[in-house]
Structure 1
Amino acid sequence: MSENRVVQGRMVTPKRLAELIEGESVMDAEAIEDADRACPECGGDVISVGYMLSVTSFVTGYKCQDCDWAATDDE
């Protein structure tokens, strides 16, 4: 599986994807995965990435590959 994915026409790393979702820098990010769901805004493919906001905060973020939609599930 490739580490990087195309999001809105740009190749992104897991850490960059997490930063797109959060709107700020993150400490670390896991591999990007398919979220097996469609975007609620445009119906495009959604991908997910787990990342550390801080040493005590792990978040799973979701991002559409085709539009600006993004969301998180705080764990």
Structure 2
Amino acid sequence: MADNRVVQGRMVTPESLAELVEGDDVMDAEPIRDAERDCPACGGNVLAVGYMPSVLEFVTGYKCQDCDWSETDRE
């Protein structure tokens, strides 16, 4: 089963999606899943990916498939 998804016209892996959200390299990423919510910026489909930006941190990132919007669940 392929974990790759299309985001803004480009095929992304879980790692590359996490790097788009984080803006930096990540250590590890879980499979991409649907966030089951709409983008607040454009109304498009939002994907979620859990990832580790460092050894001590686990973050869930959210990214719109259609526009530049993204956010994380960091406090």
How big is the alpha-carbon RMSD for the aligned residues of Structure 1 and Structure 2? 1.1
Q: What aligned pairs does 1:25-40 form with structure 2 within 5 A after superposition?
A: 25-40=25-40
Within 2, Cα distance between the matches of 1:17 and 1:49? 7
Residue 59 (structure 1) aligns with: 59
Within 1, Cα distance between the matches of 2:14 and 2:73? 17
Mark the runs of 5 or more structure 2 residues left unpaired by the alignment: none
After superposing on structure 2, the runs of 4+ consecutive aligned residues of structure 1 that deviate more than 3 Å are: none
Secondary structure, counterpart of 1:71 in structure 2: strand
Deviation string for 1:8-33 (max 9, x for gaps)? 00000000000000110000000000
Residue identity opposite 1:14 in structure 2: P
Residue identity opposite 2:56 in structure 1: T
Secondary structure, counterpart of 1:21 in structure 2: helix
Secondary structure, counterpart of 1:74 in structure 2: coil
Mark the runs of 5 or more structure 1 residues left unpaired by the alignment: none
Deviation string for 1:25-73 (max 9, x for gaps)? 0000000000000000000000000000111100000000000000000
Identity, in percent, stands at 72
Is residue 33 of structure 2 the alignment partner of residue 44 of structure 1?
no
Give the number of aligned pairs: 75
Residue 23 (structure 1) aligns with: 23
Residue identity opposite 1:64 in structure 2: C
